[in-house]
Amino acid sequence: MPKATSEKLFRAHKPAAKKQEASGPTNTNPLFNTARFGQHILKNAQTAQKIVDAANLKPTDKVLEVGPGTGNLTVKILEKAKHVTAVEMDPRMAAEVLKRVQGTPEQRKLEVVIGDFVKVDIPYFEVCISNTPYQISSPLVFRLLSHRPLFRVAILMFQREFALRLTARPGTALWSRLSANVQLYAKVDNIINVNRNDFRPPPQVESSVVRLVPIDPPPPVKFEEFDGMNRIIFSRPNKTIRGNFQAKGVMKMLEQNRRTWLAMQEMPVDHENESIQEVLDKILEAGDWMESRASKMDIDDLLKMLSAFHEQGIHFAS
């Protein structure tokens, strides 16, 4: 699976643009520059407890928390878990979390790592809990799914639109490349809706908590291949599969990849008189996919089509 990166943001999950007018005290955090890291501090104790309870923590669990903020979730996790590693970008927030457990039995159970989650080393953990900073929503999900050994469960809070895309099902408006890529590796459910007023400062959108359970063992599919195909067919998900393959540069890329694959297999390039378009059409016709649309295809459909492409030497990762 690809390395997670925080450089590419989903437009809908960037921190909301600041208003030109002076904002009231409810729109800023008086202690910490939360906007810099796209964070909103969860202040509702009941919501925090629901999130921790959803993880079904065991006394032996080692927990990874991403974006602890000032520790409102952290202290509740420490009550149930054996150990917590909290990854926090803001050194001042990290200091606040440590301060909250100083001189208590929980102090020995907490380790705070200051840094960017997509770059720091991740220790062994069974459970992940996160009030996720906006700009690392997608990188966080894919870094968790690529982590080994597999964790048991992740309870993750995102902006609601992103959460709905994660949990979308085939045939619905939000079924997308993101949905398919995540659901190839995990079962994802929306478990809690969180009101914007549960945060300080309140974001401009509502939030949702999802439960992500990795599929164990993971499917023996190279992520770069699955994602490469999905990148093409989900570019316009309601267009036919064949139509999406006509996009500029796609055929040239597939031809180059096929020649490379044949060379690696020490096989002759035996399609001198048959274009890559003709090879593609034969595959789509044989699988009855000529009129299929990505928006209606489930994971099994996508895997069958990828396998058919591979059988004919068509690959999507360069």
The verdict on whether omega for the bond into residue 59 sits within 30 degrees of 0, i.e. cis, is no
Residue 40 assigned ligand-binding role: yes
For residue 273, is pLDDT > 90? no
pLDDT of residue 274: 77
Burial category of 171 from C-beta neighbours within 10 Å (exposed 0-12, middle 13-18, buried 19 and up): exposed
The pTM for the full model equals 0.85
**What is the reported pLDDT for 262?**
76
For the stretch 48-83, pLDDT in tens is: 999 999 999 999 999 999 999 999 999 999 999 999
- What mean pLDDT comes out for the span 12-18? 39
Q: Is 144 annotated as a binding residue?
A: no
**Whole-angstrom Cα distance, residue 54 to residue 73?**
12
Long-range pairs of 117-125 with CB within 8 A, sequence gap ≥ 24: 117/66, 117/67, 117/87, 117/89, 117/143, 118/4, 118/5, 118/6, 118/143, 120/87, 122/64, 122/147, 123/62, 123/64, 123/85, 124/62, 124/149, 125/62, 125/63, 125/64, 125/85, 125/151
pLDDT tens digits, residue range 145-195?
999 999 999 999 999 999 999 999 999 999 999 999 999 999 999 999 999
pLDDT at 28: 41
The answer to the question of whether 301 is labelled as a binding residue is no
From first CA to last CA, the distance across the chain in angstroms is: 14
Query: Tens digit of pLDDT for each residue in 226-265?
Result: 999 999 999 999 999 999 999 999 999 999 998 887 777 7
Q: What is the pLDDT of residue 243?
A: 96
Is 181 annotated in a binding site? The answer is no
> Quick one: pLDDT at residue 133?
86
Mean pLDDT throughout 295-300? 98
Q: Which of 22-31, 124-133, 191-200, 205-214 has the lowest mean pLDDT?
A: 22-31
DSSP the chain: -PPP-SSS--GGGSPPPPPSSPPPGGGS-SSS-GGGGT--EE--HHHHHHHHHHTT--TT-EEEEE--TTSTTHHHHHTT-SEEEEEES-HHHHHHHHHHHTTSGGGGGEEEEES-TTTSPP---SEEEEE--GGGHHHHHHHHHH-SSPPSEEEEEEEHHHHHHHH--TTSTT--HHHHHHHTTEEEEEEEEE-GGGEESPPSS-EEEEEEEE-SSPPS--HHHHHHHHHHHTSSTTSBHHHHTTSTTHHHHHHHHHHHHHHHTT-----TTS-HHHHHHHHHHHTT-TT-BGGG--HHHHHHHHHHHHHTT--S--
Q: Which residue type, as a one-letter code, is found at position 49?
A: Q
Please tell me the predicted confidence (pLDDT) of residue 1.
55
| CB 183 within 8 Å of CB 227 | no
Long-range own/partner contacts, residues 273-278 (CB < 8 A, 24 or more apart): 276/251, 276/314, 277/251
- pLDDT > 80? residue 120: yes
37 and 89 Cβ atoms separated by less than 8 Å: yes
Q: Is 131 annotated as a binding residue?
A: yes
CA pair distance 262, 256, nearest whole angstrom = 10
**Binding site annotation covers 38?**
no
Q: Looking at the predicted structure, is the pLDDT value of residue 25 above 80? A: no
